[in-house]
Amino acid sequence: MGSGASSKSKNIPDLKVNLKVKVPSFKIVLVGSCEVGKSSIYLRYTKNQFDYSYQPTLSVNIINVTKKLNIPADTLVSLTLWDMPGEEDMQLRRSYYKDLDAAVVVVDLSDKDDVERAEFWKQDIINNTFVSTETNNLGDDMQSKKRAENISDKKIPVILMGNKFDKVEAKLHEGQLGGVPEIVHTLEKIAQDNDFIGSVTVSAKSGDGSVHTAMQSLVRYLIEQNLQDVTEKKRSLMKALANKGKKLQENVKDKKEIPPEQQFQKLAVVGMPEFDDEFEQCNMSMKLLVGISAAFSNSLYNFRAACMTAKAISDIKAPIEECLQGLDTTIGEDNDIEANQDGGLIQLILSESNKGATAEQRKVIKIFNSEVSVAINKITNLCPGINSRLDKRQDEIKELLEKINDLNTAKIMSRKDILRAREVAENNCDRIDTAKKHAEKALKTATTIENKILGSLDW
């Protein structure tokens, strides 16, 4: 009945598991709003029972179960399931997310508004999941200590489970309607748009096996991921052994580390359209800033690397003016490199009298003209506008924060929901402030380099 009505947004594959590999235990949490049936799913999967009397979950329920998977055959796995209350303090909920292996976002298929709240719960998991790792402190009698680390959302599989499909199916029968219910299409689209590993419809009440099938698919997915991690660790170990004894050298070919500011992540979803529309506009500006900043940084690295290859400098961190002066010196004659400004772009040109420049030296000039100059032009032209747009959006967001209680006209958000929304919005504003500072820094750096270049060369 329930399990066959929804396809997965991303295929959860059937696995071929090596039974000699020890299957680890997994911690899985069930999250969602009040009265969506989290406890019913919890009870159906662990004991194959259903309680017809509704009793709100006031504190987290935890149970350890051992399950056998039919695919792969006779594979046992230990699961710790956490049934979380729909209304819970943020700090308590964050503690429940510690060392999480997977999550199930449960929504009520008979309530479209609740289905659309799946995005909020996914973001809540992303924002608050962390792992604790043990470290040995030599200064404290070798005691093992816990250290918390946030982890990427890509490492936590989250499945979207639409419960109470029996209600949806009953309405179809009453109206003598055929086909797949519209709410199922909505569930699938939300799963696809928000990077759930899959979506599935179930009925904890009917006991049709849909809950068991969905949970077993999630566990198989976890086993596959675990085996991939083991395989990758073995490959890394073999690679390290193969390279043992080789002398490590720092040169131009070393892989560059990408600074954190070059890695763009969207602002968190607040769960209120008025805020999320504003933050989506900020996302576009911030993504543009990250892109041009990364291009600027990479162009400078490539330019310096080319200068080292051309033996114009000996240090990859050398100032730009030193790179140009060194290049001019290595060519062998004074004032053989000239600068010209064409359409706002600074272009380096070899004088007509110079025919002795090497291929490496000409490559330096080519990289400057095609990469560095273009990046500087984008920074100086776009950064002021980006900051202006972000300033405007921030002013509008601050106005929304002042009247956040008035925005909940339909009264579908509880007081705790509003407090959580405010917290997410304020955290987003802090990220916007950081982005603006990066824009100002990038503009200052680009302008300084531009002035140094013009001061180092003949016109």
Q: What is residue 12's predicted lDDT score, i.e. its pLDDT? A: 41
Query: Which residues have a Cβ under 8 Å from the Cβ of 199 and sit 6 or more positions away?
Result: 6, 7, 8, 9, 159, 160, 161, 162, 187, 188, 190, 191, 192
Q: What is residue 395's predicted lDDT score, i.e. its pLDDT? A: 92
The distance from CA 445 to its chain's CA centroid, rounded to whole angstroms, is 28
Q: What is residue 322's predicted lDDT score, i.e. its pLDDT? A: 86
> Which helix (DSSP H) or strand (DSSP E) does residue 381 occupy?
helix 373-402
Measured CA to CA, the distance from residue 256 to residue 247 in angstroms comes to 19
H helices of 11-109, in order, are 38-47, 90-96
Stretches in the chain below the pLDDT threshold 50: 1-21, 135-147, 153, 241-242, 244-258, 260-262, 335, 459
Taking a C-beta distance cutoff of 8 angstroms, is the pair 29, 104 a contact?
Answer: yes
Measured CA to CA, the distance from residue 121 to residue 100 in angstroms comes to 15
Query: Which residues have a Cβ under 8 Å from the Cβ of 451 and sit 6 or more positions away?
Result: none
The distance from CA 116 to its chain's CA centroid, rounded to whole angstroms, is 20
Measured CA to CA, the distance from residue 278 to residue 430 in angstroms comes to 15
- Per residue in 160-197, pLDDT (tens digit) is 999 999 888 888 776 655 667 889 999 999 999 999 99
Q: What is residue 9's predicted lDDT score, i.e. its pLDDT? A: 43
CATH topology of domain 3-230: Rossmann fold (3.40.50)
**What are the start-end ranges of the E strands in 234-294?**
none
Largest CA distance in the chain: 93
Q: Around Cβ 276, how many Cβ atoms within 10 Å? A: 20
Give the residue from 274, 231, 219 showing the smallest Cα distance to 402.
Answer: 274
Indicate the pTM of the whole model: 0.46
Q: Which two tokens stand for residue 355?
A: 């025919």
Query: Any idea where the domains of the chain sit in the sequence?
Result: 3-230, 260-456
The distance from CA 455 to its chain's CA centroid, rounded to whole angstroms, is 42
Q: What is residue 74's predicted lDDT score, i.e. its pLDDT? A: 63
